[in-house]
Structure 1
Amino acid sequence: MMSYAFEVGDQTVWSPSLRVGDLFVRMHAATCSVLGTATGLTAIASDMYEIDIEIFERATLAAFNEYSSSQNATFKAMLGATLGPAVNILNYCQRPLTPRSDEESAFISWANGLSMPR
């Protein structure tokens, strides 16, 4: 089965199936566009992306702050779909987000519990 590869330096931090990887890249790019931030993703090949962890972390934090401050359930659901894997990647890279509320703590726990092949 074919898969994507997301790399930080020389380490693969996530290797989802082609459809999942493609969907994540597209959703992450759209989310960052709406929030006015860079993605931190650079295509190395059609199925391989290098993650600039500094930029990716800023983008993820921007999305997390929007998620946490919003009262719009639909907006939160849409952000959460791409934010979960991003939070998981940051945690794997030893850059965990710090929760400021029980809701944030619950979201981070959920995100870090996602099964993400490496």
Structure 2
Amino acid sequence: MMSYAFEVGDQTVWSPALRVGDLFVRIHSDVCSVVDVATGLTAVANDMYEIDIEVFKESTQAIFDEYFRSNHPEFRAMVGPTLSLGVNILNYCQQPLTPRSQEQSDFISWANSLSMPR
């Protein structure tokens, strides 16, 4: 099975199936465009992305903040699953987001419980 590689420095932080990796890049990029932040992702090859962890953390934080400011159920339904992957990657890289409410803490705990191949 072919897979994507998302790397921070020389460490692979996520290695999903090709279609899953491609979908994440597309959705993350589009959400970042809507929120008007850089993605933190740079293509190294068709199936490999380098993550600038500082920029990625800024973009994920901006999306996280927008997600929790919104009461729009469709917005949350579309953004939440992809946001959870970013939160999980940040936690794995020891760059966790800091919750400011129980709802945020619950979301972060759920995101960090996802099993993501490394």
Aligned to 2:78: 78
Q: RMSD between aligned alpha carbons?
A: 0.5
> Structure 1: which 5+ residue stretches go unaligned?
none
TM-score by length of 2: 0.98
> Structure 2: which 5+ residue stretches go unaligned?
none
Q: SS of 1:103's equivalent?
A: helix
Shift in Å at residue 33 of structure 1?
0.4
Distance of 1:113 and 1:77 partners within structure 2? 19
Shift in Å at residue 22 of structure 1?
0.4
Shift in Å at residue 81 of structure 1?
1.8
Shift in Å at residue 68 of structure 1?
0.8
Aligned to 2:2: 2
Aligned to 1:18: 18
Distance of 1:101 and 1:92 partners within structure 2? 21
Aligned residues: 118
Distance of 1:32 and 1:66 partners within structure 2? 11
TM-score by length of 1: 0.98
Shift in Å at residue 25 of structure 1?
0.2
Q: Matched residues, percent identical? A: 71
Matched ranges for 1:40-55 at <5 A: 40-55=40-55
Runs of 4+ in 1 over 6 A off after TM superposition: none
